[in-house]
Structure 1
C-alpha cells in the first residue's frame, strides 16, 4: 500500500510503507554497467589497500549515502539506528529537547523547535546552528550522534552553544531535558475565538481537529466568533492527514494533487460534503517553519477562499516522500512526487504567500535573523516556474503598518504578536466582516477545472 508523507526534517518522520520493488537490471545500459564495474574496482581497492582495515558494511552504506546525497535533500537511507530514532520520535515519549534539526556542511541546523518544549522555552529558534553540547564541539560529526547527545534522562541539564545568523557572537543556552510528549493538536479559547494549534500531522489529526471544534463550542456554550488554525513551526507529516484537516473546513472541490515522474502518475484528493466549522471564518497562521502538510492545508483553504492566511511565507517544501522497506531494519526514503494546490500551484521553493504578511514583532531577533527555507537547502528541487530572489525575501522588507518594538509589546503584555493580530482581526471584523475580508484578500480563486502542471 502506497502511503506518502511530507516532512521538512529527516529526523521527524511519520512511517509510510510501500512494498519493495525489484530492480530491472535489464533496463541498465552498457555505460552504466561500466560505471558499476568501476565502482566495484574502487570498493575492492579500498577494502584491500586502505591504511586501516575497514568494514564492508560501512563502505557500502557510505556509497549508498553518497548516491542519495546527489538527489534532493529529503531522500535518504535509513539503517537500524535511524529506525530507532523514527520509533522514538513517533512514540513521542523520550527524554529530549523538542527540536527538529538537519545537517548542513557538518553543522547541526535547527529547522524549528516544537511548541512548549525545553528548546522552545529556552529561546532556540529556526535557523540557529548548534556548535557545542555541554562545551564539546560537535561540528563534523553525524546528525544521529548529535541527536543522541541531546537526548537523555528527563530532568538532566544540558547546555547548547548557538550560532545565530545576525548576531556577532555565539551564546550558550541552558535547559533541562524533558519527556517530549508531542500532542499534535491542542485547543483553547481566547476572546471568544477558538484557537486550534497543530504541531504535526500524525495519525488521526483530522479527527482531533474536528474534536477540537466540538470541544470549543461545548466549552463556550455557543459558536465562537471564528477559528484560528495555528500551524506555525509545523514541519508536516502524513499527506492523508493534511487532506483530512482541510476537509474539516471544506465541503467540496479538490484539496491537493500529487504528480510523479510520468504524466499518468497523478493522484487527486477531494473534500467530502460537510463543514465541521459551519462556515465560521478561519484565520490560518503560518511562518517560515510551516512546511509540507501545513502548506497543503494553508493552500487549500486559501485557494477555496475558506480562510485568511496570515503570518510569514511558509517553508516551501512541495515534494512527497515514500518509505520503501529494503529489509526488516532498513529502508529507502525517496522523493516520489510533487504536490500542487487546488489552483495548480506548486509551493516548492516559493511556499505559501500569506494574504496578510504579519511579522513576529514580539521576537527581538525577527529583523536580523534570516529565514531558513527549502530554497536554502542544497540540491532542493527547482520550481517549474522560476522564482525571483526578491519574491523569496520580500517578508524581510519593512512594513510601515508594523512599527512596535518587542520591548514595547512586552510592556503591553503581548508575547505573541502574530496571534495577537489574528485575534484582533477576528474580534474587530466579526464573522460577516471576516467573510468579506477573506474574499477580498485571497488572491486566486479555484477554477472549475484545476490548472495542469508540467510533469
Structure 2
C-alpha cells in the first residue's frame, strides 16, 4: 500500500460526506466544522507519513488518534484493541488471573476504586483512593487504562510490583503481589445475632441475583423469620446494571429504582419496582464507603430514596454514568463510551457526588476495654467465682467453626456492629410502641 492511500481514503470519505450534506441541503454549521476537522486530520497524517524522522505506520497513527479522541471524553470511555476488549468480557463472565483491583482514571491519574475481597490486593491492604504511580517500575503517567489492566493481569502465581501513593503516607508504598485467580463468587451471608442477617455483595456479575436469592432464603429460614438485615456494599465496585436493578427490586414493592437520562432520547430509561412474593418487610441497614461505586450506588440510592433502608458508613465513590460497549469490526476492536447518567428515585445525579450516608460511621474495629485489676471487687460477677457453673452452651463443649470466627470478626467491625445495634433497637422500640 502506498503512503498516500490512507490520506486518500480519508479524503474520499470526506468528499462523500460533503456530497451527502449538499444533497440534504445542510453543508453549514456542525457539518462544516466536522469536515474542516477531518481535513486537518488528513493534512497532519500526510505530513507525518512523508516527513517524520522515522517511517511510521499510518494504521497505528489512526488508531492512536482514535484512542486519544475517545480517552479524552471521560475516564470511562475507551477505544480498545482486541486483547483489551476480550479482557472486558472476562470481568463479568469468565475467570481471569490478576491482583484483584478495580481502577479508574481520576484527573488523568490511575486510581484504585476498590480492591476485590479475597484477592491478593485486598489481602495486602490496598484501599480505595490509592494512586498507582508504577507497575513493575514502569510509570503509569499517560498510560491507557487497558494497558495498566494488561500489565497487572498475567499467569497465576507470577509476581507483579505496584508502587502506590496514599493520602497520609509519608512515602510511596511498594507492594509485590502474587497473581491469583479472581473469585467469581460475589455473595456471602452470616447470622451475626439470632434473628438478624448479614448479606455481603462484593460485585455484580451475571449470577449475583441468583446467589442473593439463595443466601436470602437461607437467612429467612430462621425461626420467626428475619427481624432485620444488614446489606454490605462496602468496596463493591459495581458491575452489571441489570443485576443491581433486579436485586434492588427484591426489597422494593413499588416506585422507581433508577432512571437513566442521556442526550439521545432512545437512551432514556426508567426502571420500576414490582410487588414481591414473599414480601420482605423487615428493616434494613445498608453499609457503603468510598469503594462503593456504580451498580452498588444504584442499589444504595434506590433503597434510600424509597425509604426502604437506612444508609450507614461513608460517602460512596460517585460514578453516576452509564456506558455502552460496541464491537467495531471483525478484527476484534471495541468501543466503550458513556451514553447517559444515572438518577436516583428522588431525581438526584450521583455523578462525582456519591451517595451520602444517613449516619456517618468511620471504619474501625471494636477494641476490648482494658481490665482494671485494682477494681476487681467492683466488677466481680458469678462467672468469675471459683468452680462456677458454665453456661449451657459452653457446657456442650461446642467446637468453634469457621462460621463462628467470621461472626466474631463481623462483631468487631464498628460499622457492622453499629448497624446491628440499630436493627436491634428498632425491634425493641417497635415492641414498646406496639407496632410489632
* TM-score between the two structures when normalised by the length of structure 1: 0.73
Tell me which of 285, 307, 310 is aligned to 1:305: 307
Tell me if structure 2 keeps the 8 A contact 1:196–1:230: yes
Q: Partners in 2 of 1:117 and 1:413 — Cα distance?
A: 19
Q: Is structure 2 residue 334 aligned with structure 1 residue 331?
A: yes
SS at match of 1:195: strand
Structure 2 equivalent of residue 210 of structure 1: 213
Alignment partner of 1:351 out of 321, 343, 354: 354
Whether the 8 Å contact between 2:260 and 2:270 is mirrored in structure 1 is yes
Q: Distance between the aligned counterparts of 2:95 and 2:123, measured in 1?
A: 19
Q: Is the 8 A contact 1:255 1:300 kept in 2?
A: yes
Query: What's 2:298 paired with?
Result: 296
Q: What does residue 109 of structure 1 align with?
A: 111
C-alpha distance after superposition, 1:44-84 (max 9, x if no partner): 11122111122222211111122223322222112202112
Distance in 1, Cα, partners of 2:263 & 2:108: 32
Q: d(CA) in 2 for partners of 1:326 and 1:133?
A: 30
8 A Cα contact 2:92 2:239, kept in partner: no
Where 1:323 maps in the other structure, the secondary structure is: strand
Q: What displacement does 1:142 show?
A: 4.1
Q: Do 1:311 and 1:418's aligned partners in 2 also have CA atoms closer than 8 Å? A: yes
SS in 1 for 2:205: coil
Which deviates the most, 150-159 or 346-355?
A: 150-159
SS in 1 for 2:170: coil
Asked whether the equivalents of residues 113 and 317 of structure 2 are also in contact (C-alpha less than 8 Å), the reply is no
Deviation at 1:123, TM superposition (A): 0.4
- Partners of 2:257 and 2:108 in 1: how far apart? 38
* Cα offset, 1:423, TM superposition: 2.1
What displacement does 1:153 show?
Answer: 3.1
Residue aligning to 1:417:
414
CA distance in 2, matches of 1:144, 1:310: 34
**Highest Rg: 1 or 2?**
2
Q: Counterpart of 1:90 in 2: which secondary structure?
A: coil
Residue 320 of structure 2 is matched in structure 1 by 318
1:427 to 424, 428, 434: 424
Show CA shifts across 1:8-46 (max 9, x none).
Answer: xxxxxxxxxxxxxxx997475223212211110101111
Answer 1 or 2: higher relative contact order, Cα 8 Å, separation at least 6.
Answer: 1
- Alignment root-mean-square deviation, CA: 2.9
C-alpha separation in 1, matches of 2:216 and 2:109: 41
TM-score, normalised to structure 2, is: 0.76
Separation (CA, whole Å) in 1 of partners of 2:264 and 2:157: 51
* CA contact 1:284–1:310 (8 Å) conserved in 2: yes
The answer as to 2:226 corresponding to 1:224 is yes
Pick one of 171, 174, 178 that aligns with 2:173: 171
Equivalent position SS for 2:239? strand
Deviation sequence 1:164-219 (CA, Å, 0-9, x none)? 1221111222432221123122222212321111122222423322221102223x
Contact 1:249 1:276 in 2 (8 A): no
Aligned residues: 365
| Conserved 8 A contact 1:209-1:248 | no
SS in 2 for 1:422: helix
Q: Which residues of 2 match residues 249-398 of structure 1 at below 5 A?
A: 249-262=251-264, 266-274=268-276, 276=278, 278-328=280-330, 329-362=332-365
- The question of whether the paired residues in 1 share the 8 Å contact of 2:317 and 2:354 is answered with yes
CA contact (8 A) 2:192 2:411 kept: no
Unaligned runs of 5+ residues in structure 2 are 1-16, 367-408
What residue in structure 2 maps to residue 51 of structure 1? 53
Q: Are residue 248 (structure 1) and residue 245 (structure 2) matched?
A: no
User: Structure 1: how far apart are the matches of 2:429 and 2:63?
Assistant: 59
Residue 124 and residue 342 in structure 1: after superposition, are their counterparts in 2 closer, same or farther (change >3 A)?
same
Q: Which runs of 5+ in 1 are unaligned?
A: 1-22, 364-411, 437-455
User: Does the aligned pair in 2 maintain the 1:182–1:199 contact within 8 Å?
Assistant: no
CA positional deviation for 1:327: 1.6
